[in-house]
Amino acid sequence: MKRLPLALGVAGIILLGSVLAYYHFQVAPRIRTGRMDGRYADPASRPEVGGFRFETRRGVEDIGDYSGRVVVVDVWASWCPPCVEGIPRLVALAERFRAAPFDLVGLSVDRGGWEDLDPFLERHPEINYRVAVPHPPPAFLLRTLVDLDPLGDVAVLPTFFVIDSQGRLAGKFVGSNTLPEVSALAGQLLEENSREGERRDAI
């Protein structure tokens, strides 16, 4: 019986060490990368993200289904105040590029999926862009730390991913205050797309 407290103490130390090691080697690096912006001005340096899938009301879709179009993916949650406060600006962004080959996808990482989203969307009929959930459901390490491979890790909501017309990641922007940069990059990619089209027509 005297050995029982010692054994429990050793087990506790081992468990604590395992938890700390997991956080240090698995969670902390993802928090760092999730908080980092990324910009890929050179098209040749842009990572391919064509395998990224999500579920809309139309069914499961792939970024590859949007070939030829610039896509902004807004990673958000209905419980995130900055995300909700930013909806009018997202509505304006979608309206700005309404006539262009452009799509805005509001990718919710609410753990309840559509069960959480449906009541929220009923209260916000002004949303004029596509809303989706990741498919398959992402791996949550912490409440806001989400693995959205191949887009990358998300540690702050909202986070925006800007994807060019070839299905490549052109930029990642962290935080609601980065929306002007998101809009500017989307505009640049649309101009880039237009110039490429003009070159093809001239051949």
The reply to whether omega before 138 is within 30° of 0 (cis) is: no
Question: Do both 108 and 13 map to the same domain?
Answer: no
Question: Do both 5 and 42 map to the same domain?
Answer: no
CA distance 155 to 158: 9
Query: Domain range holding 110?
Result: 37-202
CA distances from 134 to 65, 87, 94, 106 (A): 15, 19, 20, 10
Considering its fold, how many domains does the chain have in total?
2
pLDDT digit string (tens) for 55-81?
999 999 999 999 999 999 999 999 999
Q: How many residues does the chain have?
A: 203
CA distance 56 to 62: 10
pLDDT digit string (tens) for 160-197?
999 999 999 999 999 999 999 999 999 999 998 777 66
C-alpha closest to that of 163 among 62, 79, 33, 32 = 62
pLDDT of residue 19: 43
Question: Do both 84 and 43 map to the same domain?
Answer: yes
118: CATH: 3.40.30.10
pLDDT digit string (tens) for 16-52?
544 444 444 455 455 566 566 788 889 999 999 988 9
Question: Do both 96 and 173 map to the same domain?
Answer: yes
Question: Do both 166 and 189 map to the same domain?
Answer: yes
